Structures are given as C-alpha cells and as structure tokens.
Amino acid sequence: MRGSVQRHTGFSLTELVVTLAVAMVLMAVGLPAFLRAYHSYELSTAAGQMADILRLTRYEAIRLNKPVDCIVQPASTAGMTNVWADSDRTGVLSPTEKMILLGPGGNLVDPGTVPNASGLISSAVGSMTATSPSPTSSVTWFDARGAVVPPTTVTAFYLGSTVAPEAGFRAVLLLPAGSIQIWSGDTGGNWQQQR
C-alpha cells in the first residue's frame, strides 16, 4: 500500500472568514429595519395596554354599578407611568386593582408634542369636543352605566417612545359612550385607524 494518502475535508480559514464577512454585512443591512419594526411593535403594544385598562375600568364601573376611576400617575421608577382602575376610588393603588406600567418604549406624552393632533380628532370624531388628560397625573372616570364623565367630550391619550422617536405616535381615543379607537401616526402627523 504505497502512496495511500488520507484527505481530511472541511472548511478552510479563508472560507470561514468570507462567510462571516457576508453574515456581518447582512446583519448590518437588516438590523435597522428590525429595530424600527420592534420599536413600532413596542409602541403599539403600549397603546393596546392603555385601551385595555380603559376597557377594564369601564367594565368594573358597570359590574360594580358605581363610578370607577382610571388613574394615571408617575411610577416610582423615573420615566415610567402607572395606570390603573381605581374601583374603590381612594386614589391609592390597592393589591386587588388591575394596573399597567408604561415605560420609555411607549408612554403617555403631552399632546402639544404630537404632530397634527387636531387633524386626528377632526378625522376621527368630527366636530366633537376633545380633551387630553395630563400624561403625568390625571383621572378619567366612568359612571355606573360605563359612560365617560363628562359625556360630551372625547378623551384622547397620546403615546410616544423616548427610546425611538422615529416610531411615531399612537392615540387611544375614548368616546363618550365608552367605546375606544386606536390610531397610529407617523412623525409627519399622518394618522390611520388601527382598530
């Protein structure tokens, strides 16, 4: 058995380096699009949570057959906001009350920072009067029938991201009868209804 040579197969160092370089280029190209989609998802999730806590507060008012408050207050952690259904109307979060925590990925913002907020209101509800509660400390309450008090105004909650301002804005509109709309807007103030 002369001249028997065993060959080992595998990848050369050059092939591995080229493969890693191609993978890194693809990641560099795809990462910004992924992050945009992720930040938009975070903001939409926060708007959905805000709508859910408003619905829960309304349902609690109907279930208990008495007025119930939805309270917005700053959390103990900077940049975070507590929103809860205050069914006992004490103004203090008790262990049995449902609460959400909004953070920098999607938090309530001042309506003055939202582009074309008046255009959104006129598109969504026409000439009805709209109010925007303070994003740092406010109370929205429902009567025993589940209607918003006062029953003649639309309450607009605006959400934005401090982490990714390019994700745009979301608006949760609470109509007088208690129904809710969620709107999505870009940084230019172009709004479209989500649900």
Q: Where are the domains of the chain?
A: 13-193
pLDDT tier at 1, thresholds 50, 70, 90: low
pTM, full prediction: 0.85
Q: What Cα–Cα distance (Å) separates residue 146 from each residue in 69, 100, 140, 180? A: 11, 20, 12, 12
Residue 126 near residue 155, CB atoms below 8 Å: no
Distance (Å, rounded) from C-alpha 162 to C-alpha 134? 17
pLDDT, one tens digit per residue, over 116-126 is 999 999 888 88
For residues 109-131, one letter each, b for 16 or more C-beta atoms within 10 angstroms of the residue's C-beta and e for the rest, the string is: bebeebebbeebbeebbeeeebe
Q: Write down the pLDDT at residue 3.
A: 63
When the pLDDT of each residue in the chain is averaged and rounded to a whole number, the result is 92
What is the DSSP pairing of strand 153-160 with strand 107-108? antiparallel
CATH architecture of 13-193: 3-Layer(bab) Sandwich (3.55)
pLDDT tens digits along 50-84: 999 999 999 999 999 999 999 999 998 888 999 99
Instruction: Look up residue 67 and give its two tokens.
Output: 């007025």
Q: Which two tokens stand for residue 187?
A: 């940084």
